[in-house]
Structure 1
């Protein structure tokens, strides 16, 4: 009796036995796919091109993987043959008929097959003779069915992968990527990361192909590239060691906020250093054991004195080693260092002992960053670290990372931040990585020069090839020059394929121009606001805004910047004072947490049609196209879009509201540099008013002509010369 296809649980066990180090998600993924697509007979691609690469990527033994894949294929082939035998029982007469050669005009063949008669072409009339087909229709039908089956199964694989990726729950403890590592023993070891010819894919999309990555220890790399290109995927791949990073190199990846619980903030930071925590636990255990041994010896005279001395010596030796390691890592200074990091990131001294659950998401993101900085991993991976920071915290982080002693790889679209921090730039594009020495400004200059050089080389090659072709065309049939022409042909054939330099399509945003309104437009007179009468957040606010206003609101987090925006738009009303808004004034608000306003379970077009009905699909797609959401992206589920693409969708939704005033809270978060430039251009062209809360120095400088500082319960116009002078003011105050 033939073996039956195993159950999902049995397949999970077989995969686990073959590749013990595989993640549970991978094991469940493979077993689930095979279980849902159990009819895989005659489809070698499913095993060879899908299952085997997943197992090989986990680093398992190739021989064991080959054996398991062969076993799966045999089981599925056997089941397929049984189904086929059962299906063909009692159909010998039809089988024999189909195996016969078919005369293309035979009425018997037409009626038997029911297929050829459907055609209206008279082959006999065309050729003037009878045509006997040599095609074996049985084999033809079998081949067609096999192709259709493979296409259906490949589609099923893609749909299954997409569903699993969307349903997958991300890990929450991003600071426990590595096991406890004794980093006192790794000092002096080579900690450069060098990866050659590796590929990365995500959700069926190739991110990198035959890429090379070299990270020299002690260098600080900025990773740049357009939204959706796969920068965050590269960081996650490194952090999960899905590529061959040496095990003695500790890695820490910060991309999401830490989970909140009852742990005090400073203890949450201290516990990030798992090795130090391990040493403290060992110290406590050994001290307790030493006291217990002393007590036991005094009460039990029959115990061997020699055995006691040996055990005691071992405990004291271990304790001495623990003390030496605690001293080597400067454990006694740890709490002061943790407090300094928390203060630099904006936590006041009284907040250091607040439970982590008492902080909002943005502040817990800062806690995750503080844990990473305190831990000092050999390779620190940061994904847009400035997104949740105010300008004082960004300044502090820039200065802190300038002296970072280990390797840093940071994804950021803040040019000023990269200019201050980066020693090298990695440019990710077209499934590859390009290296540039220097900060972002140097990269921008070098990249432009490199592109000009490539363009000149391309034009020279085109001209050279045209010269060769012209010579060949002129002389190839001339007896005296035929030999030279043949030589030119060989030269032309040996030249490599010519590809023009890559040109990234420019991105443009466009907000619709509103109708004009007569003054007064928007005024606030002596306004005071607090959520309770005892706790006043802002008081004595005076504002007068016109249709050409370009205002940036800056200040430390928690000072009330977002509250100002809500007072402007009418989401909050002041306890005292007067807010006057023009009767026809329309606002469009871009929230710092704009993703919360999107329904990620539908497409962008469906979300716009549901929220702002009355337009055709073509109009919604045209609106999305005005913000760089082109092609099929607008028809993708919003959950599958990158952070920058979701921001573009949110901007397109603002445009649908046809506002007189754009109120933007941290609009550059998640946007790539080209998109930031496009947003800058769109705001300059916009005919209405603009109010921005942002920490991006370059963006503020390009868009705004007024700077308002929100701090100490007040909102006042800054009297200096713009954002650069404000940063100097912040540094002078020591914030």
Structure 2
């Protein structure tokens, strides 16, 4: 039945007064149901009144009721001009006041909830894993029989929030072999490692797992303590011991807890927990950490030293099976015995190093392509094949498309600057007088420069970049920069400089206000942060995706000179190649620090070697530098 105008004329005032959006018909009923029941109209039945409230709630706002309800506006206007008595309507004033008060109260609660939403702490999506397992497997695991150190996980899924990363996947790790886990950024490599480390995926209980993060976090943890904490079994026992001793000391411990404490002491003795600090110290010493350095906090170390800390954490446990995520093809060729390729929500295994993986994969896909084309002759079927196998290592069309896109991401519509554009002249610098990093440092760069700074960890590469940028002031000497020089800087600790509590769009908006959302989305989209990725908290992105956000932020103001400190740490191989191509197309200057041999070969025509408190120039690129090192090693008897 149609909603009578006579009821509308009574409730419009209440609805307009509140101006609130109701969550459901019950809220509408709570606000005006009593008022309607107090009228002399025929809608006395409670179910009828609830139906009316549901109709009202179905519209976007209270004012829209007048337009969407099937009544004549002229009739409503005429009726509203009459008195309630003329209409034969009796309205209870107290119920009217009560309805209005209830409506305002609901609006107040809603405003309070909205306020809490804007100030509540960030809640990140969490990764989860599930797998099918048989009772037989569980019984074998619990019985302790057949204690192999091989790992085989079948038919498992991994997701991050609502996004599926792996479906029906299988993972086999044979004891003693070294596996390289590869795949494009954001597909779930790091998440898979976390699921294994947390045992969200079922790993036999007798197998100990050590999880080394992408880079040791820079915080107030001491270097030695950071290594000790990598032994989660020892740390867990020590933590439990402290808690139980505290309960015993204040008299709140129960009898079983005293027994548990004895078990903990026995276990600590079994694993020789008291010898762990000395063993960790020896490992650190072997990696170049002096006794004084071992007491420093992790945030005081450069990226190179933090990577050594990560290696020390790995060496602190005995070596068995290794599963490593890396985008460095030279490292993979030198270290791994097998490759595991994550793509299309599944895992594929290949025997051999990375080069063998590329060759085998190409041959496999060529065979698949021939078989497929033999079966299907129509163009649409061929297109299905192309779509299905677009993860081909060559992926010529896709890669070329990405390269063309990235070439545009380093805009060069700026004026040419006459040299010297950036110069350090007779610079001396030190953090303390006992450790002079540079004496009489003289270097210069212009818009044609493609320079890589190399040298041992701790030689001062990152410090030199900060001197070039003007972030550090020389103790003696002069820094000169062209007045129109605009530097874009990418830090090796770029994640520390991102606001992790906002989404990527908000991050750019806060950094570069005054533009519309489409511009921010376009900037992020150029680096692969598209769709819902751009609206997710930065903290929930993968390491590679965070790097892409940092690149988007760095390039947005259109610098004419880039200083890049380890830009490839979290980038996949395809993106590294695209970055190299983009830097070569860029018309401005480039100075970078990198351990990625391929990036150096592709981009840099000149090397600055940091050593002995100074810098020497090596022209001819990486090959020339390698020949110099080999000759030096021969003279010293190492080769």
Give TM-score, length-normalised by structure 1.
0.57
Q: How far apart are residue 700 of structure 1 and its match?
A: 1.1
Asked if residue 373 in structure 1 is aligned to residue 321 in structure 2, the reply is no
Could you tell me which residue of structure 2 aligns to residue 436 of structure 1?
350
Could you tell me which residue of structure 2 aligns to residue 125 of structure 1?
none
Aligned-partner Cα distance in 2 for 1:198–1:368 = 29
Could you tell me which residue of structure 1 aligns to residue 166 of structure 2?
208
Q: How far apart are residue 203 of structure 1 and its match?
A: 0.9
Aligned-partner Cα distance in 2 for 1:448–1:337 = 45
Could you tell me which residue of structure 2 aligns to residue 477 of structure 1?
none
Q: How far apart are residue 368 of structure 1 and its match?
A: 4.6
Asked if residue 248 in structure 1 is aligned to residue 206 in structure 2, the reply is yes
Could you tell me which residue of structure 2 aligns to residue 503 of structure 1?
390
Could you tell me which residue of structure 2 aligns to residue 450 of structure 1?
364
Q: How far apart are residue 499 of structure 1 and its match?
A: 8.2
Aligned-partner Cα distance in 1 for 2:561–2:153 = 49
> Cα distance 1:198–1:728, how it changes in 2: closer, same or farther (>3 A)?
farther
Q: How far apart are residue 221 of structure 1 and its match?
A: 0.7
Q: How far apart are residue 721 of structure 1 and its match?
A: 3.4
* Secondary structure class of the residue paired with 1:649: helix
Aligned-partner Cα distance in 2 for 1:650–1:358 = 20
- One of 718, 721, 724 as aligned partner of 2:623: 721
Q: How far apart are residue 186 of structure 1 and its match?
A: 9.1
User: Which structure 2 residue ranges, 5 or more long, are not aligned?
Assistant: 1-22, 24-33, 38-42, 53-67, 73-116, 128-142, 239-264, 392-397
- One of 587, 606, 611 as aligned partner of 1:706: 606
- One of 596, 599, 612 as aligned partner of 1:696: 596
Q: How far apart are residue 697 of structure 1 and its match?
A: 1.3
Aligned-partner Cα distance in 1 for 2:451–2:145 = 51
Could you tell me which residue of structure 2 aligns to residue 463 of structure 1?
377
Q: How does 1:279-428 map to 2 (within 5 A)?
A: 338-339=280-281, 341-348=283-290, 350-352=292-294, 354=295, 356=297, 359-360=300-301, 362=303, 363=305, 366-376=308-318, 405-428=319-342
Contact 2:190 2:542 survives alignment (8 Å): no
* Secondary structure class of the residue paired with 2:377: helix
Q: Deviations over 1:250-275 (max 9, x none)?
A: 11111163797787x55764675678
Q: How far apart are residue 246 of structure 1 and its match?
A: 0.7
Q: How does 1:585-624 map to 2 (within 5 A)?
A: 585-624=485-524
Could you tell me which residue of structure 1 aligns to residue 29 of structure 2?
none
Q: Deviations over 1:108-158 (max 9, x none)?
A: xxxxxx98899xxxxxxxxxxxxxxxxxxxxxxxxxxxxxxxxxxxxxxxx
* Secondary structure class of the residue paired with 1:207: strand
Could you tell me which residue of structure 2 aligns to residue 529 of structure 1?
429
Could you tell me which residue of structure 1 aligns to residue 548 of structure 2?
648
Could you tell me which residue of structure 2 aligns to residue 574 of structure 1?
474
Could you tell me which residue of structure 2 aligns to residue 293 of structure 1?
none
Q: How far apart are residue 631 of structure 1 and its match?
A: 3.3
Contact 1:458 1:501 survives alignment (8 Å): no
Aligned-partner Cα distance in 1 for 2:233–2:532 = 48
Aligned-partner Cα distance in 1 for 2:466–2:490 = 11
Q: How far apart are residue 437 of structure 1 and its match?
A: 1.3
> Cα distance 1:369–1:512, how it changes in 2: closer, same or farther (>3 A)?
same
Aligned-partner Cα distance in 1 for 2:369–2:627 = 40
* Secondary structure class of the residue paired with 1:695: coil
User: Which structure 1 residue ranges, 5 or more long, are not aligned?
Assistant: 1-38, 40-85, 99-113, 119-158, 170-184, 281-317, 377-404, 468-496
> Cα distance 1:357–1:243, how it changes in 2: closer, same or farther (>3 A)?
closer
Q: How far apart are residue 211 of structure 1 and its match?
A: 0.5
> Cα distance 1:192–1:351, how it changes in 2: closer, same or farther (>3 A)?
same
* Secondary structure class of the residue paired with 2:443: strand
**Which stretch of structure 1 is more off in the superposition, 695-704 or 526-535?**
526-535
**Which stretch of structure 1 is more off in the superposition, 418-427 or 632-641?**
632-641
Aligned-partner Cα distance in 1 for 2:291–2:424 = 34
Aligned-partner Cα distance in 1 for 2:221–2:389 = 52
Give TM-score, length-normalised by structure 2.
0.65
* Secondary structure class of the residue paired with 1:252: coil
- One of 584, 589, 595 as aligned partner of 1:684: 584
**Which stretch of structure 1 is more off in the superposition, 696-705 or 568-577?**
568-577
Could you tell me which residue of structure 2 aligns to residue 217 of structure 1?
175
* Secondary structure class of the residue paired with 1:650: helix
Contact 2:369 2:385 survives alignment (8 Å): no
Contact 2:452 2:606 survives alignment (8 Å): yes
Q: How far apart are residue 407 of structure 1 and its match?
A: 0.7
Q: How far apart are residue 589 of structure 1 and its match?
A: 0.8
Q: Deviations over 1:224-261 (max 9, x none)?
A: 11111111110011111111211111111111637977
> Cα distance 1:731–1:428, how it changes in 2: closer, same or farther (>3 A)?
farther
Q: How does 1:159-198 map to 2 (within 5 A)?
A: 165-166=123-124, 189-198=147-156
> Cα distance 1:441–1:594, how it changes in 2: closer, same or farther (>3 A)?
same
Q: Deviations over 1:524-582 (max 9, x none)?
A: 22211123455422111121322111111112222211111111122223222232222
Asked if residue 230 in structure 1 is aligned to residue 194 in structure 2, the reply is no
Aligned-partner Cα distance in 1 for 2:494–2:299 = 22
* Secondary structure class of the residue paired with 2:598: helix
> Cα distance 1:277–1:566, how it changes in 2: closer, same or farther (>3 A)?
closer
- One of 503, 512, 535 as aligned partner of 2:411: 512
Q: Deviations over 1:290-340 (max 9, x none)?
A: xxxxxxxxxxxxxxxxxxxxxxxxxxxx99x999x78xx9999x8886455
Contact 2:504 2:549 survives alignment (8 Å): yes
Aligned-partner Cα distance in 1 for 2:631–2:519 = 47
Q: How does 1:84-103 map to 2 (within 5 A)?
A: 91=45, 94=48
* Secondary structure class of the residue paired with 1:166: coil
Could you tell me which residue of structure 1 aligns to residue 216 of structure 2?
257
Could you tell me which residue of structure 1 aligns to residue 17 of structure 2?
none
Q: How does 1:49-60 map to 2 (within 5 A)?
A: none
* Secondary structure class of the residue paired with 1:572: coil
Contact 1:521 1:581 survives alignment (8 Å): yes
Q: CA RMSD in A?
A: 4.4
Q: How far apart are residue 436 of structure 1 and its match?
A: 1.3
> Cα distance 1:248–1:521, how it changes in 2: closer, same or farther (>3 A)?
same
Aligned-partner Cα distance in 2 for 1:671–1:357 = 23
Contact 1:520 1:546 survives alignment (8 Å): yes
Q: Deviations over 1:630-661 (max 9, x none)?
A: 33433433233222122112212222222221
Contact 1:258 1:365 survives alignment (8 Å): no
> Cα distance 1:368–1:666, how it changes in 2: closer, same or farther (>3 A)?
closer
Contact 1:700 1:723 survives alignment (8 Å): no
Aligned-partner Cα distance in 2 for 1:322–1:605 = 50
Aligned-partner Cα distance in 1 for 2:145–2:618 = 49
Contact 1:165 1:203 survives alignment (8 Å): no
